[in-house]
Structure formats: structure tokens, C-alpha cells
Structure 1
Amino acid sequence: MLSAWIAEHGQHCTINIGLWQDNGREEAPAWGIFLADTIRHIANALQEQYGQSAPDTIAAILESLHDELGNPTFDAKGAFSHGHG
């Protein structure tokens, strides 16, 4: 669904859009569930690796996410490529 990495001083990603829509689900809410699950995995990993509180980590991620959406550090650049046919 989503692959992301840092290279050449920037974030790069590939996103598979339309899978949920093609299966009769609304795309935006499904992405919300996917991202929430991802955030929980990050919080659990930080707790296991570094002893950081998972709930505190989730709160910090959500605060940072909200701040970044409201005032982006960088503009999102790139293009969307429609499917593989």
C-alpha cells in the first residue's frame, strides 16, 4: 500500500491508491485505519526497543502530524502514476 524511504536529502514514496475503492470501500477512511495501525506499530517498536511509552509516542506522533499538515516543512513534490494496467 505504501513504501517510503529517505534518499538524496528527501522523502520518496510509492502509494497504491484504489485498492480499497475497487473492493467497495471508501478510500479515505481505509487509509486512516491503515495509518493508525502503522502509528501503533511504530509506538510499540519504540517501546520495545527504547522503553518509550507507547501512548506517549502516539500522542507525540499525532501532535507532529497535525503540526506538519497545518504548516508543512516542505512542499510535497512528485506525480501520481495511474496503475499498472
Structure 2
Amino acid sequence: MKPLVIPPAAQRDENAVQMLSAWIAEHGQHCTIKVGMWEGQGRNEALIWGMFLADTIRHIANALQENYGQPVPETISAILAALHEELGEPTSPVEGNFADGHN
């Protein structure tokens, strides 16, 4: 098992919340997702997840630029194209159980 490090800001902030964890295991993707936090604050959960994922895509593009010199705008375009294609025609089914994670 090869977990990632917890970001320093999350380690310092006693109110930090892990929203998403994704793994490749047993030949597939496995996730834990904290849903309902924003809805519980009276906000549109889907809209805020979109913003959260957009920020995540920018972090990925910045990391690829820093590590491999890939231009950020081109990387974001490639990620979005792959995202739309995968959403339109999934290469594998999404299965799983959802547990009540409201705490």
C-alpha cells in the first residue's frame, strides 16, 4: 500500500476535513467520498463539488507542469476532454456501497 502524505495545512488545521480519497486496487478504482457536508450548510452540493473538482484539476495541471513541463492550459483541456468522454461512454461500471458518513 502506498498512501499519500497529508498536506501540512490539513495537519495544522484542527477543523480540516478529508473530502475524497481514491485508490487503484484490485484492478479498479475505489473511493471514499464525504457527501452531504455542503448540503448540510444549506449550499448546493453538486455545484460545490463541481468547484472542488475544478480546483483539483488545476492542482493536477500545476503538478504536471512543475514535474514534467506540461503547459497548464493544454493539460486542463486534455483532462476535460477525457472527463467528458469517460462520462459519456464509461470504460468500466461504477459500483459500490454508500455508508452514512455524516459526522
Normalising to structure 2: TM-score of the pair?
Answer: 0.80
Aligned match for 1:28, one of 38, 41, 46: 46
Residue 78, structure 1, aligned to residue 96, structure 2:
yes
Matched residue, 2:70: 52
Residue 43, structure 1, aligned to residue 70, structure 2:
no
Aligned residues: 85
> How far, CA to CA, are the matches of 2:102 and 2:80 in structure 1?
33
Task: State the identity %.
Answer: 68
Higher helix content, 1 or 2: 1
CA displacement at 1:83 relative to structure 2: 2.2
Alignment gaps of 5+ in structure 1: none
Deviates more, 1:3-12 or 1:42-51: 3-12
Aligned match for 1:10, one of 28, 49, 52: 28
